[in-house]
């Protein structure tokens, strides 16, 4: 493969031993990136969950009379140009972000991992076709495919989720195929074949469990990429549509008032940064924790 | 069990294997023919890189897709060359099994040993999970794994190399195969354990009336464990015959070289170990004539012309050499050298 790889991690460190849970958590809680990343990610998740049951104000209620208020006891971070409470918008925005992230990464993992495993198991022209298709898809960034999709299906959350999901597939195909090829070359796969197992069972029972640690780490990074892409698409008006709040939309709304009320852009910007940083640190931590070479040194 | 008593269990005729190497396609194995009767044991010996494993993988149908296999391999009279992978899968682990060199890597680190031993049973017989587990424990017990019933749910990394090789043996024997191919089964193990594992394999083969192909680079291992032997060099069989006959009177300069180069216990200090000059050629560099020509002390021009024919130096003892008159003038073997 001559095309450069996007964010993906080292291929080949693929074997993890099943850990006693206590051992895993004991090491995890001592791992700085894992703890910080986990905390930040949980904060975002907590905000999204909280918004389902409680927000200080309604995030949809427009009150132009009280627009652009500075922070106060009533509105902790003030209000936006339509008089909506910023804290409430951030909480509900977390929900959009997480939903888009989960569904888009879900699409990416489902198709990317299946195709990657298939390419590694079948080789030959199957692999060739999958890899060429994935190179082709890779050439289109999420924004471009979202613009094309929006032209056909109209802008909106479904469009942006689909575009981001498709955008995730090639990276995951390549990572999965690369790691799976390394597993296929291992002697225990030859031994499994020598005991009569076919390609499908070997993939499910031997290849997938051994590439799983790598995929888990990559999923956190893909999640962060999806959040960035969602924000970018909403900012461009191609993603989440009003009145549904999202961090990207908040940035978009803040844009025209950048000199008048710069904090309106800072809040959603910081929320995006916290989520992305949290997920990246979490991925970093998981990479160390799931690496058997480090795990074995007790 | 379709074949009659007289048809050999395995019959290989003029086996050729072409592999893709970094330097283009090359003939890794040429003109290998042999047959193996039920219950018979055959050794395959030669230095590393001579084509022993490739030959074994061809029998198992496990060569890479890019490999081209010519000639014929028959199991109980039915042809295996060109068999689909799905049909081959029904034979592997069921009628033909294989043990590999590296017990450290031949087991999946993520699965318990019990599960791995039970898998061939689940695949090839219609026994239940519980029955397969019971059978797995019995097998692990039979191969001498201490505390089999307790350790059946342990993971490979919790065992030593020797114990893991016992597990892979149990895996290979689970479905009572007709043929066991053991590819350097003790090479990766401590010397002290090698003997135990070989004895275990020999015992199981005799007990179950299996045929065995034992691959080793060590003449001593071959001498003690098989009835017949083939010496391989550069992808060709240079000498074959009953183990006794070959060791009594070695015909091929390569076999003689291997014999002289074997490490000996009790050799007087300071005795230089004789070695065969030169190294095994890379596949792409294999000569078209006798593959051993470049390292042979008694090479002549005609050796390089074409692959020498097999000369029967006694009944069932064949040597692929045009100069057996010279090479065998001085008896090399158990009595000589
Ligand atoms: N998959 C392969 N592709 C290309 N060459 C191979 C492959 N497997 C083995 N070879 C080459 O074939 C020759 C015989 O190898 P092998 O059968 O493994 O030797 P050994 O007698 O040590 O078991 C060696 O030169 C080796 O490099
Ligand atoms: Mg070998």
What would the two tokens of residue A176 be?
A: 């999965």
Give the pLDDT band of residue A16 (cuts 50, 70, 90): very low
In a domain, A20, yes or no: no
Distance from CA of B125 to the nearest CA of A (A): 12
Encode pLDDT of A245-271 as tens digits.
989 889 888 888 888 889 999 999 999
Nearest CA, atom 26, ligand 1: B49
Query: Ligand 1 pocket, B48 CB below 6 A?
Result: yes
Read off the pTM.
0.82
From B283, B284, B285, B286, mutation site for ligand 1 pocket: most ligand atoms within 8 A of C-beta: B283
Q: What is the pLDDT averaged over residues A133-154?
A: 84
When CB atoms are compared, the residue of A18, A190, A194 closest to B155 is: A18
Judge whether A278 lies within some domain: yes
B224: left (phi over 0), alpha (psi -120 to 50) or beta: alpha
Tell whether A187 is within 8 A of chain B (Cβ): yes
Range of the domain at A173: 99-297
Q: Is the pLDDT of residue A150 over 50?
A: yes
In a domain, A14, yes or no: no
Question: What residues of A are in contact with residue B157 (Cβ under 8 Å)?
Answer: 17
Ligand 1 within 6 A of CB of B45: no
The predicted model gives A127-134 an average pLDDT of: 94
Q: Which chain B positions have a beta carbon within 8 Å of A128's beta carbon?
A: none
Q: Which of A16, A182, A188 to mutate to test the interface with B (most CBs of B within 10 A)?
A: A188
ipTM: 0.86
Q: Is residue A10 part of a domain?
A: no
Mutate to test the pocket of ligand 1, among B43, B51, B66 (most ligand atoms within 8 A of CB): B51
Q: How far, in Å, CA of A188 to CA of B119, rounded?
A: 13
Query: Which tokens go with B168?
Result: 């892979």
Whether A69 is in a domain gets the answer no
When divided into structural domains, chain A yields a total of 1
Strands B10-21, B179-183: pairing is: unpaired
Q: Which of B29, B49, B55 to mutate to test the pocket of ligand 1 (most atoms within 8 A of CB)?
A: B49
Name the average pLDDT for chain B.
91
Query: What per-residue confidence (pLDDT) applies to B271?
Result: 58
In a domain, A21, yes or no: no
Contact A205 B111 (CB under 8 A): yes
The CA-atom distances, in angstroms, between A73 and each of A65, A69, A70, A76, A80 are 18, 11, 10, 6, 16
Question: What distance in angstroms lies between residue B19's CA and the mean position of ligand 1's atoms?
Answer: 8
CB contact under 8 A, B62 and A123: no
Q: Which residues in chain B have Cβ-Cβ distances shorter than 8 Å to A18?
A: 110, 155
pLDDT digits (tens, 9 = 90+) for A52-93: 999 898 888 888 888 888 888 888 898 888 889 999 999 999
Query: Is residue A42 situated within a structural domain?
Result: no
Q: Quick one: pLDDT at residue B131?
A: 94
Q: Which ligand 1 atom sits closest to the C-alpha of B235?
A: 14
- The 10 Å Cβ neighbour count of residue B151 is 18
Residue B92 carries which DSSP code? B
A17 touches chain B (CB under 8 A): yes
pLDDT one-digit tens code per residue, B292-307: 999 999 999 999 999 9
Residue A15 has pLDDT above 70, yes or no: no
SS3 string, A29-49, reads HCCHHHHHHHHHHHHHHHHHH
Confidence (pLDDT) at A74 = 86
Instruction: Looking at the CA of residue B52, tell me the nearest atom of ligand 1.
Output: 21
Domain edges within chain B = 239-263+289-336
Whether the per-residue pLDDT at B88 is higher than 90: the answer is: yes
- The predicted structure's pLDDT at residue A11: 40
Q: What is the CATH number of the domain that holds A117?
A: 1.10.3720.10
Burial class (CB in 10 A: 0-12, 13-18, 19+), B278: exposed
Q: Is the distance from the beta carbon of residue B290 to the nearest atom of ligand 1 less than 6 Å?
A: no
| Residue B313 three-state SS | strand
CB atoms under 10 Å from CB of B262, counted, come to: 13
Contact yes or no for B273/B263 (Cβ under 8 A): yes
- Find the ligand nearest to A190 CA: 1
- Are the CB atoms for A164 and A100 separated by under 8 Å? yes
Per cent of chain B over pLDDT 70 is 94
Percent with pLDDT over 70 in chain A = 90
Closest C-alpha to ligand 1, atom 5: B21
């Amino acid at each position: 493969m001559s095309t450069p790889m996007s964010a993906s991690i080292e291929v080949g460190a693929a074997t993890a031993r099943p850990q006693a849970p206590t051992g895993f958590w004991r090491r995890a809680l001592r791992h700085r990136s894992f703890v910080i990343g986990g905390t930040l990610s949980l904060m975002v998740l907590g905000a999204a969950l909280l918004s389902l049951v409680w927000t200080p104000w309604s995030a949809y209620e427009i009150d132009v009379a009280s627009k652009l208020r500075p922070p106060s006891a009533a509105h902790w971070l003030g209000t936006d140009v339509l008089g909506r409470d910023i804290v409430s918008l951030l909480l509900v925005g977390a929900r959009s972000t997480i939903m888009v992230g989960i569904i888009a990464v879900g699409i990416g993992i489902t198709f990317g991992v299946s195709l990657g495993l298939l390419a590694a198991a079948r080789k030959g022209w199957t692999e060739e076709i999958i890899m060429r298709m994935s190179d082709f898809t890779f050439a289109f960034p999420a924004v471009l495919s979202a613009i094309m999709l929006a032209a056909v299906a109209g802008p909106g959350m479904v469009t942006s989720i689909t575009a981001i999901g498709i955008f995730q597939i090639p990276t995951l195909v390549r990572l999965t195929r690369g790691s799976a090829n390394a597993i296929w070359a291992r002697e225990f796969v030859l031994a499994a074949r020598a005991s009569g197992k076919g390609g499908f069972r070997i993939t499910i029972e031997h290849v997938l469990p051994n590439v799983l640690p790598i995929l888990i780490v990559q999923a956190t990074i893909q999640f962060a990429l999806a959040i960035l892409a969602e924000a970018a698409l909403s900012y461009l008006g191609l993603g989440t549509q009003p009145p549904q709040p999202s961090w990207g939309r908040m940035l978009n709304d803040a844009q025209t008032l950048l000199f008048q009320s710069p904090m309106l852009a800072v809040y959603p910007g910081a929320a995006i940064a916290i989520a992305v940083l949290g997920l990246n640190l979490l991925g970093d931590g998981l990479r160390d924790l799931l690496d058997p070479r480090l795990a074995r040194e007790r | 069990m379709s074949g009659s008593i007289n048809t050999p269990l395995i019959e290989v005729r003029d086996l050729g294997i072409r592999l893709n190497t970094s330097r283009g396609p090359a003939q890794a194995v040429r003109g290998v023919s042999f047959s193996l009767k039920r219950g018979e044991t055959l050794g395959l010996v030669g230095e590393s890189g001579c084509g022993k494993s490739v030959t074994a993988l061809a029998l198992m149908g496990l060569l890479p897709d890019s490999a081209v296999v010519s000639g014929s391999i028959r199991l109980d009279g039915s042809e295996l060359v060109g068999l689909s992978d799905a049909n081959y899968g029904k034979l592997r682990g069921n009628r033909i099994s294989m043990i590999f060199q590296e017990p450290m890597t031949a087991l999946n680190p993520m699965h318990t040993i019990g599960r791995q031993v039970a898998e061939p049973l689940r695949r090839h017989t219609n026994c239940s999970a519980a029955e397969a587990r019971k059978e797995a424990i019995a097998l692990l017990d039979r191969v001498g794994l201490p505390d089999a019933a307790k350790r059946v749910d342990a993971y490979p990394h919790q065992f030593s190399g020797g114990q893991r090789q016992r597990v892979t043996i149990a895996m290979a024997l689970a479905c009572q195969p007709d043929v066991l191919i053991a590819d350097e089964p003790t090479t990766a193990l401590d010397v002290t354990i090698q003997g135990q594992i070989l004895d275990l394999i020999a015992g199981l083969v005799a007990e179950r009336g299996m045929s065995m192909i034992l691959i080793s680079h060590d003449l001593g291992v071959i001498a003690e464990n098989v009835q017949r032997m083939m010496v391989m060099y550069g992808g060709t069989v240079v000498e074959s015959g009953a183990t006794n006959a070959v060791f009594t009177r070695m015909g091929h300069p390569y076999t003689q070289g291997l014999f002289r180069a074997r490490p000996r216990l009790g050799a007087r200090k300071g005795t230089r170990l004789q070695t065969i000059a030169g190294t095994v050629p890379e596949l792409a560099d294999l000569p078209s004539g006798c593959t051993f020509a470049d390292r042979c002390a008694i090479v002549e021009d005609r050796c390089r012309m074409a692959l020498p024919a097999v000369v029967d130096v006694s009944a069932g003892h064949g040597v692929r050499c045009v100069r057996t008159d010279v090479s065998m003038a001085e008896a090399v073997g158990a009595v000589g050298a």
